[in-house]
Amino acid sequence: MQLLIRAARVIDAASSFDGQTCDLLIENGLIRQIGTDLIADEGVQVVAANNLHVSPGWIDMRASAQDPGFEQKEDLTSLCRAAAAGGFTDVAVLPNTQPVVDAKGTLGYIRRMAEGQPVSIHVVAAITQKAAGENFTDMLDLHHAGAVAFSDGHHPLQNPDLLLKTLQYLQPVGGLLMNRPEETLLTRYGQMHEGVQSTLLGLKGMPALAEEIMIERDLRLLDYVTRVEIREEQEPTGGLPPALHFSTISTARSVELIRRAKAEGMPVSCDVAVHQLVFDDSALAGFDTNLKVNPPLRTAHDVTALWAGLSDGTIDAVVSDHQPQDAESKNVEFDMAEFGMIGLETVFGAMMTYNRGISLAQLIEKITTRPRQLLRLPPVLIAEGEPARLTLFDPADSWTFSQTRSKSLNTPFLGKTLTGRVIGTVHQGRLNQT
């Protein structure tokens, strides 16, 4: 394939072309030439648009594939279509399938089914068998089979001994442990954030404390493992420091705890789901089940703190937390509805529409460079001779989200007009236009 991207502003802090408006000539999946007023051979496909921008391909660190086992909600083909439409070239999928990704067979199935798709799928494998929080999987075996990280996905690791041993076990291979912080004994039967709104709506609340107490616990465990590693001088074994990643944090106190831990030099990272940056718990006044998510939508104060965490680097990445649910799971009474919303197609539009003073370069870094670093994936660079793994977009153009490529419809954004339009992706030697 030959492709000429005409007059695109490069957004890539690691590239010598960052901030410049350039032409990019793509041949056989590689960036062959970057310059201005490039002359293309006859028959070369040209992409040109007003206010065209190009960045390294976007990556989502947290999505539910639902395949195998729940294909009526989503399968890998529909997931990849939705991801490509949202500007993503890479997606990391959680292990909460049926069967759970707790053995090489299921991991291999997902990788085989993802072949030939417009998006590269990276598999997050389970820490415990069936993600039940009891018996370990063979994480080393899964690591060698291609797992990019380890997590029980939607199920937080409740047992502190399991988390401690996982940190120790993954240390020699530099593996990433991803945990969604929630002390579930404090949130049992909860429907939304515990506070004034839950009282007014008569719904059982899920206290912020449930998230914060687990973050405090896990940071103490990480500190213990790190200190033991330093004391025993294990670094010469070739291992990396243990790495703990908190998925979908949602409270102001969580941001502060992680900010403090980073200032102390602890090897910790975190992400936030895009809908936590857009909505607060007052949005649930209409009992819209599409807004029933876990962690729940928090207060306006928490939303402000999350944006501040993005701005100062405390929060490393923005994720879709894409959780497809079919109509039977959402078109019911609020307290009977399943948690989750789809989000792959609206991450960028939501970030730009509801942006609170974060620069475009910062926002792009949260869905490109930093997530790839956390998942130990090779960097993507806009430079001559590099593979063409690109996202094309217009950050100022408005569009209406009128149709989804996902199999599920559980999103509050359908019919809404957003600012920040994806034009297409270039990946695996082909152009995928939206």
Q: What proportions of the chain, in percent to the nearest 5, are helix, strand and coil?
A: 35, 25, 45
Q: Which of 218, 271, 316, 321 is catalytic?
A: 321
Task: Verify cis geometry, omega within 30 degrees of 0, for the bond prior to 99.
Answer: yes
- Active-site annotation holds for 335: no
Residues 423 and 434: their CA atoms lie apart, in Å, by 6
Name the token pair of 198. 């839950």
Q: Which residues contact 287 (CB under 8 A, 6 or more apart)?
A: 201, 334
Q: Determine the 3-state secondary structure of 11 from DSSP.
A: coil
Spatial contact of 99 and 68, defined as CB atoms under 8 Å apart: yes
Could you tell me if 60 and 89 are in contact, meaning their C-beta atoms sit under 8 angstroms apart? no
Token pair of 112 as six digits:
């085989």
* CA distance linking residue 23 with residue 124, whole number of Å: 36
Tokens 């408005």 belong to residue: 398
Nearest partner of 232 among 175, 178, 172, 174, judged by Cα: 172
Report the side by side order of strands in the sheet with 88-93.
58-63, 88-93, 120-125, 149-150, 176-179, 243-246, 268-273, 317-319
- Alpha-carbon gap, residue 56 to 243, rounded angstroms: 25
**Single-letter amino acid, residue 26:** I
Q: How big is the chain, counted in residues?
A: 434
Q: Got the DSSP string for 28-92?
A: TTEEEEEESSPPPPTT-EEE--TT-EEEEPEEEEEE---TTT-TTT--HHHHHHHHHHTTEEEEE
Give catalytic residue positions.
Answer: 321
